[in-house]
């Protein structure tokens, strides 16, 4: 309570920072079928806020990359239509490698991560935010291979490639496809997007 009062006095500083809010950054929306809100995507996220949104009965959570040099933000909200569907919106791009995928990581629950990743389906930002078209190679069915190959080998190593690759190689998730017509990418690609961190860059960074 008292803290709040002190807080107010220093609020002005916040106003200054607000300017960043309007900054146009690359945004990527993912539709993930999961029971948990906090999806493991290979990075460490720190929750900095939670807000109830109008369109959904579920609160929206705001996460920020724990890397002080990384300005990537993530919004996580559940679909009002399908509570089991989690919509994750990434904003910005990572300037570092994954950190939480390391074995023994406090927040890394191996199986869960993979399970989630495989269920991830990329949704064109345009569909959700009506943003200008993004150059996404993933959009081309024929390029799916190139997408997979675009995954930095080092990434797979970081993640314990063998384990992940095995996990991502299993059968597609029909449920995910049903979740939204936007799941136009195969499981492998979906997973790729799940680790977006360094993925974002190729086709979009220049965009």
Partner DNA sequence: CGCATTTGACCTGCGC
Partner DNA sequence: GCGCAGGTCAAATGCG
Q: Crossing angle for the helix pair 187-194 and 161-168, nearest 10 degrees?
A: 140
Q: In sequence order, which residues have a C-beta less than 8 Å from that of residue 132 and are 6 or more positions away?
A: 126
CA atoms of 45 and 35, how far apart (whole Å): 18
Min separation Cβ 24 and DNA, Å: 12
Identity of the residue, 123 or 173, whose beta carbon is nearer to DNA in the bound complex: 123
Q: Give least dist CB 44 to DNA, A.
A: 5
- Comparing CA positions, the residue from 61, 203, 49 lying closest to residue 122 is 203
CB 61 within 8 A of CB 83: no
Q: Is 152 left (phi over 0), alpha (psi -120 to 50) or beta?
A: beta
Q: How far is the CB of 178 from DNA (least distance, A)?
A: 26
Q: List alpha helices for 10-109, DSSP H.
A: 11-18
| Cβ distance to DNA smaller for residue 16 or 142 | 16
Shorter beta-carbon distance to DNA: residue 55 or 206: 55
Judged by CB, which is closer to DNA: 62, or 187? 62
Q: How far is the CB of 68 from DNA (least distance, A)?
A: 10
Q: How long, in residues, is the chain?
A: 207
Neighbours of 174 (CB within 10 A): 9
What residue ranges bind DNA (CB under 7 A)?
2-4, 6-8, 10-15, 17-22, 38, 44-55, 60-64, 66, 73, 75, 106-107
- CB nearer to DNA: pick between 71 and 156: 71
- Least distance to DNA, CB of residue 193, Å: 21
């Amino acid at each position: 309570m008292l803290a709040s009062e002190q807080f107010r006095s220093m609020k002005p500083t916040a106003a200054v920072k607000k300017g960043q809010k309007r900054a146009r950054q690359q945004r990527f929306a993912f539709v993930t079928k999961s029971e948990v809100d906090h999806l493991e995507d290979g990075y460490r996220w720190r929750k900095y806020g939670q807000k109830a949104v109008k369109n959904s009965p579920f609160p929206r959570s705001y996460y920020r990359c724990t890397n002080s040099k990384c300005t990537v933000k993530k919004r996580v909200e559940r679909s009002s239509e399908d509570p089991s569907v989690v919509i994750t919106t990434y904003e910005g791009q990572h300037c570092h490698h994954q950190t939480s995928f390391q074995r023994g990581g406090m927040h890394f629950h191996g199986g869960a991560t993979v399970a989630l990743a495989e269920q991830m389906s990329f949704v064109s930002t345009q569909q959700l935010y009506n943003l200008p078209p993004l150059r996404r190679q993933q959009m081309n069915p024929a390029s799916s291979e190139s997408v997979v190959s675009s995954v930095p080998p080092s990434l797979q190593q970081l993640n314990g490639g063998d384990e992940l690759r095995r996990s991502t190689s299993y059968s597609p998730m029909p449920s995910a496809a049903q979740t939204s017509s936007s799941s136009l990418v195969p499981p492998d690609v979906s997973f790729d997007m799940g680790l977006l961190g360094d993925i974002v860059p190729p086709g979009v960074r220049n965009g």
